[in-house]
Amino acid sequence: MNVVPGSFKKCVGIKLGWEQGYRLREMPPRRLNTASGNPTLDTNRKGENCILMRDINKIIIHCSATPEGRDIDAETIRDWHVNGNKWSDIGYHYVIRLDGELETGRSIDKVGAHVKGHNKDSIGICYIGGMDSDGNPKDTMTPEQESTMREIIFALRIVADKEMTLHGHNEYSSKACPSFKVSEKFADIL
């Protein structure tokens, strides 16, 4: 991962050391020395744009509200959000498929569209599933999805160099999403 010493710069496309379909391969430095602690968009000496993260304080877990066993991808959700909801992009920053594959959604330097009133300072992660075959809420997270969820939460906290709080969408709305209590399922990493 290309981290410029003394800053939080990462070249565009690196996205926290994750590439679509791959696991985290290299951990970033534990301490990031920035004047403000909240980096912004900048251009390096070679004229390449680099992403510098916005101030993120929480990670919010979602489900796609699709039946157990039905695998969809980030592009399908992007289509629902862009063409169905008329949003500018997919609302989530990351999507985790049934086999645990991590797909990128909206760039993390952009404010998401996943929890009304809580998008500015959060990252939205959506796992595929969350409903039984009759359309009722059900925790359908596969072991592979849970493993990837834990990995991305860990990586985001390391890169941001702070303990971002962990929440479910259902903590901020009357929806069942993500179809479980985050405080119970992920009690060991809250």
Q: Which of 58, 110, 162, 175 is catalytic?
A: 175
Identify the CA nearest to 132 among candidates 70, 60, 73: 70
Burial track 165-180 (b if 16+ CB lie within 10 A, e otherwise): ebbbbbebeeebbbbb
State how far the Cα of 161 lies from the Cα of 182, in Å rounded to an integer. Answer: 22
Concerning whether 177 is annotated as a catalytic residue, the answer is yes
| 187: phi then psi, degrees, rounded to nearest 5 | -55, -30
Q: Which of 9, 15, 62, 114 is catalytic?
A: 62
Q: Which of 50, 63, 126, 177 is catalytic?
A: 177
Concerning whether 92 is annotated as a catalytic residue, the answer is yes
**Token representation of residue 47:** 């004229």
Where are the alpha helices (H) located in the chain, listed in sequence order? Answer: 74-79, 143-160, 182-185
Concerning whether 175 is annotated as a catalytic residue, the answer is yes
Concerning whether 172 is annotated as a catalytic residue, the answer is no
Concerning whether 169 is annotated as a catalytic residue, the answer is yes
Q: Which of 15, 93, 138, 169 is catalytic?
A: 169
Q: Which of 9, 50, 92, 126 is catalytic?
A: 92
* Residue positions annotated with a catalytic role: 62, 92, 169, 175, 177
